A and B are shown apart, each in its own frame.
Chain A
Amino acid sequence: MKHFDVLIIGGGAGGMAAALSASEKGYQNILLVERKEALGGILLQCTHHGFGLGYFGEDLSGIQYAERFRSKVECSNVQVLLNTMVLRLHPDKTALLSGTAGLKTISFERCVLASGCRERTLYSQEIAGTRPSGIMTAGTAQKLINIDQLDIGDEIVILGSGDVGQIMARQLSQAGKHIIAMIEKEDRPGGLKRNQKDCLEAYRIPLCLNSVIRKIHGTKQIEGVTIQNLNSGKESFLNCSTLLTAIGMIPETDLLKTSFGQETYPDWIKKIGNCDYVHDIVDSVSADGFKIWAEK
C-alpha cells in the first residue's frame, strides 16, 4: 500500500492551493486526487472574468485562474491523480480510490477535503406540477454551454438570483437568448454587488422580487411556470423553453457522511474552501487552502 504524508481530495481552487502550500511547507509526499480529467474544478467552466483580483491583483477568467495554479502544481513535488474518485475514508487513515487506473487503497498521515459544493435542486422548493425536460441548474447549463459547446434553449426563466444565475443571465443575454425573468423570493437580488451591476443592470434582466415559482407546466418539454408574488398573492404565467435554477449551494461533504456517519468525523481531516462553507469569491477559497498548513 502506498503511503502519503498528505492526501488532498479535490483538485479545484482550494485543493490546488492546499497542495502547493503543503509543498512549500516542506511536506514530501503529497497526493492530490481529482475525479475529473483535469485540475481546476468548477473554474474550468467559468469563461467569465472577475477572478484573481484579490490573489493576483489581475482580472482573470476562471479558466486562466485555474491555469495559473495548475502550472504551479505541475512544477511542484505534488503528485496528481486525475480521473480518480475517493470513495471511502477509513478511521485507520486509509482511503479507497477508484478510477480509470483501477481500485486501490492508500494510506496517509493527513487529509484535506476540498470537494467544493453542489447546487441546490428544484426539489428543495415547494413547487408543484410536472417534471419535463428543460429544467436544469445554472451550473449544469454553464457546463453544457462553456465546456461542451451545446445549446439549452432560447426563452429562459431563472429561479433564484445567486451569482451563478446572474452570470448565466449575462452570458445568455450576450449570446442573444431571451431572459424572460429572474425570480427571487427576497426583496433584493442575491449575489455580489459587482455581479448585480455588471450582469443584472447592464443587461436589463427583468427581476421579479418577492416572488416564487408555484407550478411547472408541460409534459414532455417545459412550457412555462406559474409564479406568485408573495406580497400581493397574485399569480401569473410565464412561457419559457428552459428553466435554470440558481437557488444556492450546499457544501459537498458526502464523503465524510458516507465514511463516518452523519455528525462527526476524525480530527485528522480538514475541510477547506466551499466544502467547509460556501465562499463568495474564489480568491478566498485559495486563501483558505494556503492557511491550512500554518501550524507546521
Chain B
Amino acid sequence: MARKTEVLIIGAGILGCFAARALSRYKLDISVIEKEADVCTGISKANTGIIYQGYDQHHGSLKAELCKRASASFSALCAELDVAYKRTGLLMLSFGPNADKVLEKKIRNAESGAIPNVHLIGPQEIYSFEPSLRDGVTHALYAEDTYVVNPWDLGIAAFENAKANGTSFYLNEEVINIRKESDSFLIETNKQTFLAKRVLCCGGLKADMLWEMVCRPMIRLIPQAADYLVFDTYCGNLIHHVLSVEPEEKGDGITIVPTADGNLLLGPTRRDIIGEFDGSTALKGLSELKKKGKWLLPDLPLEQVIRSFAAARPNPFTLDKNGEITDKSLKDFVILEEDGFFDLIGVKTPGITCANELGLHLADKIIRSFERTPELKTDFVPTRKAIPKTSELLNKNPEALSLLSPEYLEIICRCKNVSKGEILEAIKRGAFTVDGIKRRTGAGMGRCQGGYCMEKILKLLSENLDTDIYQITKDGIGSEILKKP
C-alpha cells in the first residue's frame, strides 16, 4: 500500500525544510523524505553562512528579487525562529584599478536596484574598521546589512517549525524511482512507496537525476568542490566584518567570515571534482586557503585551524536538443515544472540567504497549481524556540539559567560549554547521532574537536535512546563510532 500524501518534498536540506515550513501554513498533508540520517547535512551545512544583500545580482532575476526581500526580512525571520545571527556587514576589498572598477560597477548595480546601505568607502575608513588587514587596499564595497548565521541552525529551525506544524519527515529514505500515475506520482523509496499529488524536488546534487526519473532531461549538474578552514574562537576578534577580496588579476578571491559562533571561517576554494564527490578536502585547496588568508591578514595564526571541510556546489548547465551538455551555465535560480512535478535545481550562492524566500515562492507556485486552492490553517504557529544555550545564558542572564533544570549546569563539552541539558533536549528534538548533537548544540565543535566530550555524548545517546552504544553513529548507519569486538 502506498502512503498517500498531498505534497511530497524530496530532500530535507535547508531549502526542503523551508519549503515544508511555507507549505505547512496550508491545510495540506506534507511529507519530506531525506536520504541521509539527519536534516541539513549536505550543502546546507557546508557553506559560509553569509546572508547577502544581493548587490551584485542581475536586475529582474529571481535571485535579485528574492535576495533583496530575504535581506530585508532576515532579522524578523531569525526572531520568529529564535536563530542566532550577527550583523557584521561585508567589505568587498579591492587592491588596484581593475578591482576598483568592478566594485564601482557593483555599487551602480546596487543603486539602480535600490538596495540600501551599500556604498564605496576608502582606505582610511577600511583600516579603522579592520586594522589587521594587509596594506595596499584601495577601496571597499561596504554592504552594511550583511549578516552571518550558522546555516544548519537556520535549516534545523525551519525543520522543527515545519514538523511542529504537522509536516512528516522520513529520514534514511532514498528515492529509487518516480512514476507518473494519472494525476499523481508514485515515489518508490528504499523503504516504502508514496502516492503524492505534487512533488517538490529539493535534491541538491541529485536534482537533475531526480527530474529525469519522470521528465525529459533539460539541465545537468556539474558539481564543483570547495574547501574551507575553521579557526579557533581565539582568532574571532581579528576581524569584525565579512571580508572578501575582488581579485585584481584573473582567479578566485577569498572570503573570511567572523562566524555567528565567534570562529573565523576561511574559504571557499573552487576545484573540479573527479568521480563521485565523497566530501574530501584537497591538500592544494587547504594550502591555497592558508596562503591567501595569510596574505590578507598577516597576523592570521595558521596553527589555530581547528577544522577543515569540503562541500560540492551544483552548477547547472542546459542540455541541447540531443541531450548534450552545452557550455551555457545558468546564473539564476531554476525551478523546473511539469504536470505537478517541481524541481529546484542548481541552487548555490545565495541559496542560504534566499532559503526562506525560495520556500515561500515554491509554496506559492505549488498552492496555485491545485485546482481547488488549499485553505490557510488557522492554527499555524510561525514561531519556534531554540534550545537554551548555557554558555550564552552564563554571560547574559545567569538568573534564567538557574530556572532551568539542573542539567543545564553540567558541562559536557568543555570547549564550548555545552551542558547535559542541551544535549538531552537535542535528543528529544530528534538528534540520534553524534553529528546531530553537534549541529544542534555545538558540542564537539570547539578546539579539541570532541576529544573530551565525544565519549560522554556516546553514553548520553546510548542511555537516552535505549540503544546499544556500539550502534551509535557519527552521522548515520555505517558510521558507528565504536567497533563491536
Contacts and interface: CB of A to CB of B under 8 A. Distances in A.
Contact of A140 (B398, B455, B476): B455
A214 B287 CA distance: 12
B411 A35 contact: yes
B483 A126 contact: no
Interface stretch (A12-20, A26-34, A129-137): A129-137
Nearest to B478: A220
Interface stretch (A145-153, A201-209, A271-279): A145-153
Interface in B279-300: 279-283, 285-287
A118 B409 contact: no
Interface stretch (A54-62, A93-101, A188-196, A286-294): A93-101
B303 interface: yes
Interface stretch (B15-23, B130-138, B446-454): B446-454
Contacts of B410: 83, 98-100
Given A131-B309, A140-B455, A221-B479, A85 B411 contact: yes
Given A100-B406, A123-B308, A124-B305, A150 B279 contact: no
- Max count, chain A CB within 10 A of own CB: residue among B305, B449, B473: B449
A214 B283 CA distance: 8
B409 A137 contact: no
Nearest to B481: A133
B286 A126 contact: yes
Contact of A126 (B287, B409, B451): B287
Contact of A241 (B278, B415, B477, B483): B483
Contacts of A131: 279, 309
A154 interface: yes
A211 interface: no
A250 to B, nearest CB: 9
A27 B286 CA distance: 53
A229 B447 CA distance: 29
Given A132-B474, A133-B479, A124 B448 contact: no
A143 B455 contact: yes
Contact of A153 (B309, B455, B479, B483): B483
Contact of A148 (B398, B414, B455, B484): B455
Contacts of B406: 100, 102
Interface in B15-39: none
B240 interface: no
B306 interface: yes
Interface in B418-469: 447-452, 454-455, 459, 469
Given A118-B448, A219-B278, A219-B279, A128 B414 contact: no
B394 interface: yes
B114 interface: no
Contacts of A64: none
B129 interface: no
- Max count, chain B CB within 10 A of own CB: residue among A99, A123, A148, A262: A123
Given A103-B409, A130-B279, A254-B415, A152 B483 contact: yes
B307 interface: yes
Given A85-B414, A121-B306, A100 B283 contact: no
A143 B450 CA distance: 13
A16 B446 CA distance: 28
B373 interface: no
Contact of A257 (B234, B398, B414, B481): B234
Contacts of A87: 394, 411, 417
Contacts of B417: 87
Contacts of A100: 406, 409-410
B482 interface: yes
Interface in A207-266: 214-215, 219-221, 241-242, 254, 257, 262
A41 interface: no
Contacts of B398: 103
Interface string B100-137: 00000000000000000000000000000000000000
Given A103-B401, A150-B469, A144 B279 contact: no
Contact of B448 (A83, A102, A121): A121
Interface in A99-127: 99-100, 102-103, 118-119, 121-124, 126-127
B251 interface: no
B281 to A, nearest CB: 5
B402 interface: yes
A165 interface: no
A139 B451 contact: yes
B78 to A, nearest CB: 26
11 contacts: A102-B409, A123-B305, A126-B287, A132-B474, A133-B474, A133-B479, A150-B469, A151-B483, A152-B482, A153-B483, A214-B283
Interface of B: 234, 278-283, 285-287, 303, 305-309, 390, 394, 398, 401-402, 406, 409-411, 414-415, 417, 447-452, 454-455, 459, 469-470, 473-485
Given A35-B414, A100-B406, 6 more contacts: A87-B411, A121-B449, A123-B307, A123-B449, A130-B279, A140-B450
Smallest CB-CB A-B distances: 7 pairs: A220-B478, A153-B483, A220-B479, A128-B283, A151-B485, A133-B479, A133-B474
